[in-house]
Structure formats: C-alpha cells, structure tokens
Chains A and B, each alone.
Chain A
Amino acid sequence: EADIYQTPRYLVIGTGKKITLECSQTMGHDKMYWYQQDPGMELHLIHYSYGVNSTEKGDLSSESTVSRIRTEHFPLTLESARPSHTSQYLCASSDHRDYEKLFFGSGTQLSVL
C-alpha cells in the first residue's frame, strides 16, 4: 500500500544531541515537505523539496537541515537539539501532476530536555 512513513513516532533526547527524523514515501511523489506543528495546532512550513537534490527553506525559520538524495527519502537533521526544538514534526508529499494535494505522515513528537 502506498503511504508516507515517519520514524520515530516519539523521541525524547537531551540538549546538544544530534538527531535525524526520517521520512519515506512509496508513492513516487516528487514534492516533499516538512511542517512544524506547535501545541497551538498551527502548521508551519520549515522545508520543502521539488525533487532530488532540490531543497528550500520554508516560511518559518528553522535551525534544522534537510537533504533529498533519493526521491522517496527526505530526512530532517538537527545538529544540536535544544528545548526550543520541542515540537511535532510532520512530513508530507505530493505528486507534480496534482501537487496541491498533500499526503501527511503521522508525525514525530520530539521532546528535548
């Protein structure tokens, strides 16, 4: 079944640790996105990619970085996590033929102590 997967679902780490949040999709979508969702529910676009080797920063400034080496994989990395990075991170993808329709993963809830 075509889907979009995020791992881990929950992550609790200490300040200063390097972390990578994984996102993979099996739908062959060329566009992928990372959203940060704060406790107030708002969705903030932090990174997006229109294809392999393409990455752009979103509307909300983020200290995280992303890479897109393979079509299906769009990992997000924090070099040195801080408590201010505590949030829900949602990955999404869309197809270039219908790019407006986003498919979201279930998210990673990150807590930095």
Chain B
Amino acid sequence: GENVEQHPSTLSVQEGDSAVIKCTYSDSASNYFPWYKQELGKGPQLIIDIRSNVGEKKDQRIAVTLNKTAKHFSLHITETQPEDSAVYFCAAKDTGFQKLVFGTGTRLLVSP
C-alpha cells in the first residue's frame, strides 16, 4: 500500500516569509495529492490539491508542485500571515484501496 512521509514536523517562520512543506510517496501509481489545513479545535480542511497530470497548481498565496519521477510533492506558502499558523497534512490516494493516506503533519507557526 501507499506510504507518505512528510517533513518537517514543525516549521517556524516570520510573517511575510515563505514556507515550504515536503512530502514523498511510495506508490508510483498514485494520481491524486491533496493538502489539508487543520486549525486549532477544528477538523482538517482541504486547501489545494493536484493530480498527476499536472506539475504545479497555484491558488493565491499557496501553490503545490509535483515531481512524479522523484515521487515527491510540496506545498509552498508565500507572504505568510499569522492566520496561516496551523497543522498541514499532505496525502496521496492509495490506488489499491481507493483511500487517502495522510502524512504525519507539519505544525506551522507564523510569528508577527
């Protein structure tokens, strides 16, 4: 089955800086890679996703890149703001079981 590794586990940045979170996956047949944001006291919320036929996708200050050859994908947040502080999860779709496999999460702290 699919295995997803996520780094770093914690990330501290100053407001206005960029933040990058990286994930690797094991199943070369995986074709869907979402990112979820979990704020304190809430459930995870989908913020952006990418499919394997696309190399990059942007939505305002967030972007996701995918390298199928290396089997890794990354979340990029530019001009970070304190409200970006949260736990971020990457995931990959396990093509065998048709379920999402989540990474271990990254706690992002943006200091004013």
Contact = CB atoms under 8 A, between A and B. Distances in A.
Interface of A: 4, 40-43, 45, 48, 90, 92, 99-107
Interface residues of B, number: 20
Contact of A104 (B32, B45, B49): B45
B104 A92 contact: no
B93 A43 contact: no
- Interface SS of A by simple majority: loop
Contacts of A48: 99
B49 A106 contact: no
Given A41-B104, A43-B89, A48-B99, A105 B32 contact: no
A100 B42 contact: no
B107 A41 contact: yes
A41 B104 CA distance: 7
Given A43-B89, A100-B34, A100-B100, A107 B43 contact: yes
Given A100-B32, A104-B43, 12 more contacts: A4-B43, A40-B104, A41-B87, A41-B107, A43-B102, A43-B105, A90-B44, A99-B98, A100-B100, A102-B46, A104-B45, A106-B41
Interface of B: 32, 34, 36, 41-46, 49, 87, 89, 93, 98-100, 102, 104-105, 107
A106 B42 contact: yes
Contacts of B89: 43
A42 B43 contact: no
A101 B46 CA distance: 7
A103 B98 CA distance: 16
Q: Which 4 A-B pairs give the minimum distances between C-beta atoms?
A: A104-B43, A41-B105, A43-B102, A104-B44
**Interface centre among A90, A101, A102, A106, by most B CB within 10 Å?**
A102
Contacts of A41: 87, 104-105, 107
Given A100-B32, A100-B93, A101-B34, A43 B44 contact: yes
Given A42-B104, A42-B105, A43-B89, A92 B43 contact: yes
A107 B87 CA distance: 15
B7 to A, nearest CB: 13
9 contacts: A40-B104, A43-B89, A90-B44, A99-B98, A100-B93, A103-B46, A104-B43, A105-B43, A106-B43
